[in-house]
Every structure is written in C-alpha cells, then in structure tokens.
Amino acid sequence: MANLKEIRIRITSVGSTAQITSAMKMVSAAKLKRAQDAIIQMRPYAVKLQEILSNLSASLDASDGIYSQVREPKKVLLVAITSNRGLCGGFNANVMKQVRILMNTKYATQAKAGNVHMVTIGKKATDFYTKNKFTVIKSDNLIFDGLNFDKAAPIAEGIMEAFAKGEYDVVELVYNRFKNAAVQVLETEQFLPVLPPKPVANKKAKSVDYIFEPSKEEIVNDLIPKSLKTQLYKALLDSHASEHGARMTAMHKATDNAKDLIKELKLTYNKARQAAITKEILEIVGGAEALNG
C-alpha cells in the first residue's frame, strides 16, 4: 500500500485536474450556445437552398450544369473538417477514420494510383495528413477564429474551380453534423457533382418545371455557386457546434471520473491512516506489556 504522503500528492494532483476539466466544460458550454444558435438558424435556409439546387441541376442540360456533370471518378478530392484542438473525445479521430474507410473501400483504386487528394480544415487534420505524407492541396487552420460566410466562400470557390477545370471528378465532405450537445453524427456528403433530388419513398417522383427569370444562364451562374458555398458553410457550422458539444461532454465525463477517483483515493488514504494508527497503538501496547513483564 502506498504511503500517506504519496496518496495526499495524488489527491491534490487529481483535484487540480478536476478543476481544469470543469473550467473547460463551462467554457465549451458557453461557446456551444453561440455555435448552436448559428447552425440552427442557418440549417433550414441551407437545406431549402440545397433542395432548389438539386431540382435546378436536374432540369439543366449537360452543357449548362457544369457542377452537375457526372464523370468517371478518376480523381477524388476529400475535404476533412476537424478542430484545431483536442480533448473532445473521438470527434477528430472519427473524421480521420471515415476518410481512411473511403480510401480503402469506395476509392481504393484511386488511392492506390495516388489520385485521392485532401483539403484539410482544422489543425488536427492538417497535422495528421501532412505527417502521414498525404497529398494536401490546401489547408486552413484559422477559419474557426470568427467563423463566417466570407471565410468559407473562398475555400468553396477554389474547390468549384478545380472541379470545373476537370482536376477532380468527385468532391466529398467528411465532418461531424451537430444533433445535440451530447450527440454528433459523422457525415460523408457529396459536394460535387451536385446530386439530383432523392425520390421519397411511397411517393411518385415529380418533375419540377422552372420558369427562369431573368434567364437560365444568370440563374445558373448565380444560384448554384451560392448554394455550394452555403453548403460548405453549413458543414463548417455543424462541425464547429459539434466540436464544442463533444468537448463539453468529454470534459464533463473527465470531471466525474476525477471526482470518483478522488473518493477512492480518500478512502485508500483513510484506510492507510487507520492502519498506521492501529500499528502505532499495537506498538505502544506491546511496549507497555514488555515493561510490565
């Protein structure tokens, strides 16, 4: 059994850790409120705009819909969205694991040929893929410092330009979608080419006939790029809110575990102290008996 001094040092150390994790939990809770409000306000607009985009792309000719052209996926671009800091459970590891699964299954042939490239958003993804010699064509580790649409738009524009030039045939986003403070859902979402609307079960597919005003060309040149930028911005907001939710949950569990450990250490300390007292009493009694004898 460890001596009393060692146990006291461990109790003090674990107590300090519990204070740090509790403070981090409160900070993440405060940041989560702002991030949650942002994604909740943004999501209905982004979803409806994406629906319009899908219907619009389905109604365009192949020559008009440059962002809806389906090509053989010879070159693939994966956009991995993580956080800049750790201590948030499996938040970052899940994204990296999903990227690995895509490379080993869906895009195994392209990966073996070296035709799977990466765009990393967040320091954790940048460090991991750079260290492991992946082809990272662009990284952004500062976007979450005051995240807004103007910061997300240039990244989307670069990806769209590369797709339009034929540098990539498929672009997919991998990120965590915010569900609630305790639950984050890992998403793999095709960014380009734009997918047609999915048929709803038990409902007949309806063809959407649009009247273009002022003209189809202007609508295509304005709405589709804006919708794609909004889609990426929504993914970033989702990931940002998910990060704070994951960190708050992780720090809450860490604080609870630290408190439980302190209880166990105090119990061990009291047992050791009682054993030491009992031993001293026995020594005193034994000495007294020896003197009396």
pLDDT per residue over 95-146, tens digit each?
999 999 999 999 999 999 999 999 999 999 999 999 999 999 999 999 999 8
Q: Please tell me the predicted confidence (pLDDT) of residue 237.
A: 95
Residue 181, both tokens = 């403070």
Contact between 157 and 114 (Cβ < 8 Å): no
Per DSSP, what are the bridge partners of residue 180? Answer: 183
Superfamily name with CATH number, domain 19-198+206-251: ATP synthase, F1 complex, gamma subunit (3.40.1380.10)
Residue 238, both tokens = 């989702």
On the question of pLDDT at 14 being above 80, the answer is: yes
User: Which of 60, 88, 118, 174 does the annotation list as catalytic?
Assistant: 88
| Residue 88 annotated to the active site | yes
Chain centroid to Cα 155, Å, comes to 18
Domain boundary assignment for the chain:
19-198+206-251
On the question of pLDDT at 204 being above 80, the answer is: no
Q: How many CB atoms lie within 10 A of CB 112?
A: 10
Q: Please tell me the predicted confidence (pLDDT) of residue 114.
A: 93
On the question of pLDDT at 2 being above 80, the answer is: no
